[in-house]
Amino acid sequence: MTRVTLSLLAPPLAVCQFGCATCCAAPIGVFWLAGMAGLIYGGLGGPLRSGSVAWWVVGLGVMLWAVASIWALLTIQRVNDDMQRRGRPRGPLCRMLPASGSALDESDPLEEIDRSRRDG
């Protein structure tokens, strides 16, 4: 999928795949899930539980989904601009995490404690 299509359908996944997951994938996901909940809840009648669709709740859900999509597009664009301007593959927050495919430190902390007791 393209960046725009994935940003419109699933904004948190777009940020994780094309941008920087540590930047703001979690709050984008909250807005996206709240938008989906608003669409479903409004379709079921909303807070009045009427037999018809609560259009104001559906509208709120659409607005939250739109905010998540726009936020995802802006985040992806920022990461791409940062990569082109500075020549770095990832943004400043992403550099805190190890790159995909890099070796992680999988040493056992308890073994390190035992080693330090034996040495000391």
Q: What is the pLDDT of residue 50?
A: 79
Contact between 71 and 20 under an 8 Å Cβ cutoff? The reply is no
DSSP H stretches of helix in 44-86: 55-86
76-87 per-residue burial string, b: 16 or more CB within 10 A, e: under 16: beebeebeeeee
pLDDT digits (tens, 9 = 90+) for 4-42: 888 889 998 888 888 777 778 889 999 999 999 999 999
pTM of the predicted protein model: 0.68
Boundaries of every domain in the chain: 3-94
Say if residue 2's pLDDT is above 90: no
Confidence band of 88 (pLDDT split at 50, 70, 90): low
24-45 per-residue burial string, b: 16 or more CB within 10 A, e: under 16: bbeebbebbebbeebbebbeee
Q: What is the pLDDT of residue 102?
A: 47
Instruction: Tell me what the mean pLDDT of segment 100-116 comes to.
Output: 69
pLDDT digits (tens, 9 = 90+) for 32-82: 999 999 999 999 888 888 788 989 999 999 999 999 999 999 988 888 887
Q: How far apart are CA 115 and CA 111, in angstroms?
A: 6
Q: What is the pLDDT of residue 35?
A: 95
**First vs last C-alpha separation in the chain:** 57
